[in-house]
């Protein structure tokens, strides 16, 4: 009797053991499940991370473009003001401003500014707001520096040159992500004056801008 019960208990225990082993073999390992979830998160987040990376590259390119464009315009304004203040013609002033600007590159690309001559004062073209090389006079008052493109400097007045340029910077996002984005537009300008008799040319911040004959 005892022998029969022991045999049945052993048999039942064996069945339970096999059942537990079978159920354990069907359940996925815990570390495998976690690894699968991590993989899914990586796949889902990759496009977002790539988009953020491209946007950071775009922002960096724009910052570099602004700095390099401003440096090129500074060089052009200083050179043009020096030439004009030391007795050069308005056309030679424009040519020297252009040469100084052209020696610089912006994001590895060489740009140029126009030396076009118009019928306004000092050979300026109209509209003056977008003229790339604008000649005039700078005076100093209680409100700071005033640039007047209608006036021609004489004597010890400041011979002044403003350089201005707008360039297009392509978006990296449009290239790598296939997005339809227009190029970024970067605009900057610089003012320089040459005060006779000795100069030297100086970059200045203009507080008042006047240009009425060729607005």
Q: What is the pLDDT of residues 65-120, one digit of tens each?
A: 999 999 999 999 999 999 999 999 999 999 999 999 999 999 999 999 999 999 99
**How far is residue 152's CA from residue 136's CA, in Å, rounded to a whole number?**
6
Under 8 Å between Cβ of 149 and 120: yes
Under 8 Å between Cβ of 160 and 154: no
Residue 2 has pLDDT above 50, yes or no: no
Residue 41 CB contacts under 8 Å (≥ 6 apart), including other chains = none
Please tell me whether the overall predicted TM-score, pTM, comes out greater than 0.85 for this model: no
**How far is residue 124's CA from residue 90's CA, in Å, rounded to a whole number?**
9
Question: What would the mean pLDDT of 41-50 be, rounded to a whole number?
Answer: 66
**How far is residue 97's CA from residue 189's CA, in Å, rounded to a whole number?**
13
Distances 57 to 50, 165, 172, 175 between C-alpha atoms, Å:
11, 23, 7, 12
Under 8 Å between Cβ of 190 and 97: no
Give per-residue pLDDT as tens, 153-210. Answer: 987 779 999 999 999 998 877 766 666 678 899 999 999 999 887 779 999 999 999 9
Label the pairing between strands 184-195 and 202-204. Answer: antiparallel
């Amino acid at each position: 009797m005892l022998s029969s019960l022991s045999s049945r208990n052993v048999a039942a225990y064996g069945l339970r053991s096999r059942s537990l082993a079978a159920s354990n073999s069907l359940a996925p390992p815990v570390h495998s499940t976690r690894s699968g979830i991590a993989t899914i998160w990586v796949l889902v987040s990759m496009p977002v991370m790539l988009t953020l990376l491209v946007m950071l590259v775009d922002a960096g390119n724009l910052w570099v473009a602004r700095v390099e464009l401003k440096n090129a315009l500074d060089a052009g304004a200083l050179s043009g003001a020096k030439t004009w203040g030391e007795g050069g013609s308005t056309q030679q002033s424009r040519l020297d401003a252009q040469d100084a600007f052209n020696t610089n590159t912006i994001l590895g690309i060489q740009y140029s500014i126009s030396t076009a001559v118009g019928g306004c004062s000092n050979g300026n073209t109209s509209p003056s707001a977008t003229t790339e090389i604008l000649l005039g006079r700078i005076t100093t008052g209680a409100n700071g520096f005033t640039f007047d493109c209608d006036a021609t400097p004489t004597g010890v007045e400041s011979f002044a040159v403003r350089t201005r340029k707008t360039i297009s910077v392509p978006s990296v996002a449009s290239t790598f992500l296939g997005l339809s984005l227009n190029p970024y537009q970067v605009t900057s300008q610089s003012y320089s004056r040459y005060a006779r008799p000795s100069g030297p040319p100086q970059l200045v911040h203009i507080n008042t801008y006047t240009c009425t004959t060729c607005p």
